[in-house]
C-alpha cells in the first residue's frame, strides 16, 4: 500500500515537473472608456493575421492565459478586424496597440499612447529600444512645424535636425539588430526600418535568420531585395544601364561613371522633400569638385516630364540627368535596389563602387579625401 502511494506521488510529481509552463498576460488600460470593451490578441508572425484570443477590460485591467510551443510575434489591439503589421510603418502608429513576442512566462502590458510589454528578456530589451526611440523623437511635432516655415533658414535648420534625429534612431535600431540578430523582434524592425538601415545591417541579420524569422510576412521579398543589393555592394563593379536624358536621347550610365572620374549617382525625384532639402548642398559640392575629376549623374524617379524638368530648373541642377519616368518602377533604381530616396552611389574612376548613401558633411569629407 505504501509502495503504491509512493509510486502515485512520484507519478504526480513527474507530470508536475514536466508540465510546460504557459504564459499569463496581465494588462492595464489607462482610459476608463475602454472598460467593457475587448482587447484582441493576434498572431501577426504568420502570412495571414490570426486571431488567437480576446479579453474583456474590467476596471482597467485584462488577462490572457495560454501556452506557446514556440515564440511568435503577436499584436495586442482594440481593433477587432485584424491589423497586418506589414501594412503599417510601425506599431507605434497604432494607438492602444503593441507588437510583442508572445512566449511562455509572465508578461506585463500597458495599453496607452505609449504602450509597453515587459516580463521576458526579449520583450524587456525591445521596450528599452522603444523608449530610446520615443525620447529621440520627443521634439518631432515642433520640428515638423518648423520645416513648413516660410522662413527658409528656419525650415532648413529644422530639416537638418530632423534628419540628424532620424540617423540617431536608425543607429539605435541597427545596434539592437547587431546585438540580437536572430530574434523575432528584429524581423519586425527590419520591416519597419527597411528603407533606412544599411545594406550591411540587413544582410548580417538575414544571413543569421532562422526559419521562423524567415517566415515573417514580407521577409521573402526582403531576402530577394538583399540579393540585388549584394550585386551592387561596396567593392563591386557598378551595373550599367541605358536611359533617356531630358531631351529624350538614350544614354548609358557608363558615359558618366567608371570612365576615369569619380562619379556620384544620385537617385532622386522632384516630388521628394528630402531630395529637395539636400539639393542646394549638392549643387555647392558640384561647384567645388567638378574641376577636380568629379561628376554627378542624376537618375530621377519622376513620372512626369514637365515636373522633372521644372525640378532641374528650380534647383539649379547642372549635371547630367536620366529618367524613364516610371516612378518607383524606374529600371535603373531596380538594378541598384533603391527602396528610398535620396539614394547615392559613389563610383571610383574604374567603375568600382566606393560608398553608398553619402550625404552632406559625410559626402564632403569623402570627396575631400579622394580628390585632394
The mean pLDDT value for 323-349 works out to 94
Residue 9 has pLDDT above 70, yes or no: no
pLDDT at residue number 346: 96
pLDDT at residue number 92: 54
pLDDT at residue number 13: 39
| Beta-ladder partners of 345 | 265, 356
Q: What percent of the chain has pLDDT over 70?
A: 89
Q: What are the pLDDT digits (tens) for 281-317?
A: 999 999 999 999 999 999 999 999 999 999 999 999 9
pLDDT at residue number 95: 66
Domains in the chain: boundaries: 18-134, 137-231, 242-370
Across 61-65, 183-187, 342-346, least confident range: 183-187
Across 4-13, 162-171, 199-208, 259-268, least confident range: 4-13
* pTM for this predicted structure: 0.69
If pLDDT is split at 50, 70 and 90, which confidence band does 57 have?
Answer: very high
The mean pLDDT value for 190-218 works out to 79
Q: Does domain 242-370 have CATH number 3.40.30.10?
A: yes
pLDDT at residue number 5: 42
* Main-chain phi, psi angles of 136, to 5 degrees: -65, -35
Residue 10 has pLDDT above 90, yes or no: no
pLDDT at residue number 50: 83
| Domain boundaries 18-134, corresponding CATH code | 2.60.40
Residue that wins the pLDDT comparison between 371 and 262:
262
pLDDT at residue number 93: 52
Amino acid at each position: 500500500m505504501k509502495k503504491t502511494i509512493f509510486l502515485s506521488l512520484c507519478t504526480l510529481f513527474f507530470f508536475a515537473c514536466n508540465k510546460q509552463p504557459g504564459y499569463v498576460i496581465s494588462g492595464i488600460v489607462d482610459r476608463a472608456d475602454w472598460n467593457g470593451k475587448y482587447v484582441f490578441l493576434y498572431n501577426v508572425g504568420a502570412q495571414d493575421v490570426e486571431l488567437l484570443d480576446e479579453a474583456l477590460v474590467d476596471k482597467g485591467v485584462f488577462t490572457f492565459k495560454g501556452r506557446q510551443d514556440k515564440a511568435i510575434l503577436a499584436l495586442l489591439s482594440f481593433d477587432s478586424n485584424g491589423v497586418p503589421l506589414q501594412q503599417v510603418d510601425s506599431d507605434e502608429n497604432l494607438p492602444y496597440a503593441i507588437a510583442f513576442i508572445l512566449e511562455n512566462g509572465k508578461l506585463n502590458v500597458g495599453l496607452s499612447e505609449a504602450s509597453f510589454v515587459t516580463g521576458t528578456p526579449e520583450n524587456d530589451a525591445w521596450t528599452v529600444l522603444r523608449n530610446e526611440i520615443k525620447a529621440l523623437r520627443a521634439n518631432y511635432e515642433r520640428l515638423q512645424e518648423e520645416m513648413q516655415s516660410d522662413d527658409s533658414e528656419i525650415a532648413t535648420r529644422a530639416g537638418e535636425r530632423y534628419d540628424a534625429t532620424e540617423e540617431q534612431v536608425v543607429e539605435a535600431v541597427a545596434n539592437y539588430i547587431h546585438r540580437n540578430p536572430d530574434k523575432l523582434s528584429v524581423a519586425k524592425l527590419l520591416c519597419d526600418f527597411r528603407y533606412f538601415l544599411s545594406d550591411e545591417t540587413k544582410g548580417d541579420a538575414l544571413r543569421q535568420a532562422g526559419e521562423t524569422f524567415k517566415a515573417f510576412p514580407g521577409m521573402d521579398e526582403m531576402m530577394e531585395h538583399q540579393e540585388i543589393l549584394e550585386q551592387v555592394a561596396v567593392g563591386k563593379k557598378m551595373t550599367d544601364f541605358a536611359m533617356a536624358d531630358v531631351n529624350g536621347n538614350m544614354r548609358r550610365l557608363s558615359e558618366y561613371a567608371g570612365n576615369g572620374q569619380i562619379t556620384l549617382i544620385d537617385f532622386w525625384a522632384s516630388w521628394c522633400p528630402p531630395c529637395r532639402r539636400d539639393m542646394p548642398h549638392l549643387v555647392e559640392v558640384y561647384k567645388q569638385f567638378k574641376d577636380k575629376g568629379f561628376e554627378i549623374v542624376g537618375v530621377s524617379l519622376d513620372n512626369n516630364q514637365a515636373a522633372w524638368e521644372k525640378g532641374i530648373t528650380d534647383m539649379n541642377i547642372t549635371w547630367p540627368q536620366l529618367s524613364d519616368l516610371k516612378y518607383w518602377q524606374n529600371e535603373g533604381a531596380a538594378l541598384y535596389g533603391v527602396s528610398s530616396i535620396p539614394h547615392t552611389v559613389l563610383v571610383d574612376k574604374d567603375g568600382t563602387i566606393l560608398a553608398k548613401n553619402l550625404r552632406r558633411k559625410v559626402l564632403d569629407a569623402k570627396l575631400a579625401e579622394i580628390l585632394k
